[in-house]
Amino acid sequence: MLVLTRRSNQSIMIGDDIEVSVLSIMGDKVRLGIDAPTSVPVFRTEIYLEIQDQQADREIAKGGSDAAEVARGAATSVEDAVSPGEPA
């Protein structure tokens, strides 16, 4: 994991076309702005995990257990990640 320090109104680039900016810092909350092409999905982690679970449930309902296991495995590995500022 790459760890960077940024101040308010500073940003980082991911590749050539994704910019993550620190818009403001208020106490323990940081507001981020993400400028990315519309073809790049951007979600909060908890929303992403919900989407992955729903997709896995749909695969199970269709009888595609292999795809559901892969989808659940991806969600588990993301879920195990610790967000910045959270105790490990």
What is the torsional sign of CA 33, 39, 45, 50? positive
pLDDT digits 0-9 by tens, 35-85: 999 999 999 999 999 999 999 998 888 886 565 565 555 544 444 444 444
pLDDT given at position 11: 98
pLDDT in tens, 1-49: 999 999 999 999 999 999 999 999 999 999 999 999 999 999 999 999 9
Under DSSP, the state recorded for 59 is H
How wide is the angle at C-alpha 21 spanned by C-alphas 9 and 88, nearest 5°?
A: 110
Question: Does residue 14 contact residue 20 with C-beta atoms inside 8 Å?
Answer: yes
Classify strands 29-35 and 18-26 as parallel, antiparallel or unpaired. Answer: antiparallel
- The pTM (predicted TM-score) of the whole model is 0.63
Q: Tell me the torsion sign for CA atoms 32, 38, 40, 42.
A: positive
Task: For residue 32, give the H/E element and its range.
Answer: strand 29-35
